A and B are shown apart, each in its own frame.
Chain A
């Protein structure tokens, strides 16, 4: 297409719209299958990566990645700090509405769940590219279907896996000896210890995940959660959840009249000693926070025996990014053992790898040895019980229902 003189290009595209529309995959230039060409095109590009920036450790890791990709591939990586991934999604959507199909501002997005669903539904993504990335094979998707599934939706190569999250509870072992092991026990514990537990304000993603976790444990129609919400009776499926929350809220921090804004803010409340029990979506966060002086050394983590919700988070490339080659090179670098092992390092970020460590060669596997000495870390094997994420439409529906029920009371 590029070789065509601009005079002919419009005529040709006028002839081909049907073909282009029916096979968006073919329109994918640069082509990840020709990796050498991608590398060459990427050199000298500046990639704007829109990523949630609420966590200093994450930002520091992105800085580190920026240094590496500059050194190795001649790519300048700019971390555009967003408070909510939705901001980046709405920007791309606004650009599409304004007819900006080639010079978008966003080159790479840290994404999953309902944001991915929204982008894919509106044809805002470049791809498929992920499965053609050279390092993608290290994730062994045949053995780990979660790296190609995002909240029940198949990713179809439109996003590349980056890290893993799973709800992990943590508590101050000086204030609490035996933490509650399921959602019913949590209510009983909250009754006995008023004001010592809370969850982030909806629509924060950590808070919303807590709602889903509670719903999975409470409802007797669990299978309905894995299909779009329109296909089931929302009120009937979620009735036990609202009953539970109505009972729980009076015993929460601030009697449930106020909620922390985010998971990290909940962690600050733990650091003050205001809360005795909290949870995070990053299993190593409590251990990392002890190292950063944010939590007391008496902090311990656990995953309840019945398991907790977990998911994989991804990076995706908007359809109108002018630096798709650079973005792909970065996505591929993020999957390299070096980048994944550094990310998992407790000193750096502590986000778990998406690579299939058991199937790596011995030397590479050694990079991923976890520091089990830290008492705030989870015991080995704790993350084996992972509950899959419900369909993304449930998240939005639960958020709306929660807000209608508890805002302005």
Chain B
């Protein structure tokens, strides 16, 4: 009985706040918000929006960075899978993909910024020997007006996400036999993969790709760190309007939020068009029957970009670590003149509170999500129905831009008179944690061999006993991995924490982003490093615990 409620509960939990939030953005966007004196519908907010300096450019950058970052990430992942499946690099990358995914966006963005800035690590390592620069060159690299560094930052984070989603979907396709079949017809391996596996894989990862488009076109924290500034992306502009002391700006901001929804929808629509085009081109390419041409360059194109992305992500984190202990560090010295623990010593006393809040919120929202997801999946197993349609609803929080509905949600909460508490934030995080936990766990849950259940049932075990004593232990490894993903998602949340907590509840992430305003790279280094390491703890447990518990059962230790 309780189990049957689970899917309904999940859908309500995810959909109701989003719809309520969107409604409270839509009404003020057309001038209606009695609490602020907007009694009648009007187009004034839209006229004000159109009159904002640089609004056209903001929209264009949001749209372009969303599409380009997604296209590059997807290409990197597909080419990599085509070129490297089964190689030594592949085993290595698969082991790295979880830690990479766990690095919060903000920390990765800081890492990239520290690396590629004109005074960053790369320029220091090559100067003055190669470049002749005695002082940092006056180049527009980070926060460039075209959004290139923003796109780079997004690609670094979206590649591991799409890779993980693809790796989860691939077992359904029996890729090895497909490739073997194609190879027996004379196709070289990478070409074979692209021609027979990729077209079947894409529909399975389409929803994650849409989520990437939506995220990339509406992201706030990465855009604040790496994105252009004059004007910033649409999402960042909306944030500034919402926090303007002149409350009339709320109407403008609401119109902006609806515009953001439109921008993301347009990006998705444009992607749909690109899908058609790509399908045509692919069909022609496959039909032509070329078996060998391009194999070598495919291998390069498959391996180099992913190595580059991984390398940049980890070097960036290394850069954060160096900055966090740096004494005075003049350009172009490759290393600081002195090393000091002062920055850590200063930060330590103020680390405790945010760390505790972060852990509490992340653990509670992940546990709640895990229970709900397990209940829904178990219900699916018992009733024998898979909820494929409802999956779209599950993706709703990932596809509707955060900035479009969160402010409306805050207005709803204000009207309901709820006080900003940890509970409210946990609820807010659940919106984003739940879909990811579901995505990470559902495949493993559905793929478990039904004969185990049947065997246990014939031995007289009840359905509940089967769940507790057979399925759950067998699924320990994927369950813990799903929880680690959930923790990472919760730890990385900036906007929901900031808005629903009224700024009163500080987590490591809100602290890192607010300190970023101070621009002290050493302090940022400390906090971003803490922020990056925290989710790692979850992954270490997720990988280590099954190995420890099932040290005598190799099959249950789970793939890394």
Contact = CB atoms under 8 A, between A and B. Distances in A.
Contacts of B384: none
Contacts of A254: 138, 140
Interface in A60-111: 60, 63, 78, 80-84, 86-87, 89-91, 93-95, 97-100, 103, 105
Contacts of A97: 35-36, 247
Contacts of B328: 271, 293-297
B547 interface: no
A90 B35 contact: no
A81 B245 contact: no
Interface string B316-346: 0000000000111111000000101010001
Contact of B53 (A98, A118, A265, A403): A403
A273 B338 contact: no
Nearest to A201: B229
A133 B183 CA distance: 86
Contact of B243 (A81, A84, A114, A118): A84
B497 to A, nearest CB: 12
A82 B513 CA distance: 10
Contact of B245 (A48, A93, A95, A297): A93
Nearest to B501: A80
Interface residues of B, number: 59
Contacts of B414: 94-95, 98, 100
A294 B35 CA distance: 47
Contact of A274 (B56, B331, B340): B331
A243 interface: no
A393 B175 CA distance: 67
Contacts of B519: 54, 260-262, 264-268
Contacts of A261: 229, 517, 519
Nearest to A290: B328
A259 B140 CA distance: 11
A81 B506 contact: yes
B245 A407 contact: no
Nearest to A272: B119
Contacts of A194: 138
Q: Is the interface of B mostly helix, strand, loop or mixed?
A: loop
Contacts of B346: 56, 60
B145 interface: yes
Contacts of B515: 53-54, 56
A265 to B, nearest CB: 3
B136 A272 contact: yes
Contact of A63 (B54, B327, B350, B419): B350
A102 B328 CA distance: 49
B337 to A, nearest CB: 9
27 contacts: A48-B504, A50-B503, A53-B517, A53-B518, A54-B518, A55-B520, A56-B515, A63-B349, A81-B506, A81-B511, A83-B514, A90-B247, A99-B35, A114-B245, A201-B229, A254-B138, A261-B517, A266-B519, A267-B519, A272-B330, A274-B135, A274-B136, A292-B522, A293-B342, A408-B55, A408-B56, A408-B57
Given A115-B245, A119-B245, 9 more contacts: A56-B523, A59-B350, A82-B503, A90-B242, A93-B247, A97-B36, A201-B229, A257-B145, A264-B518
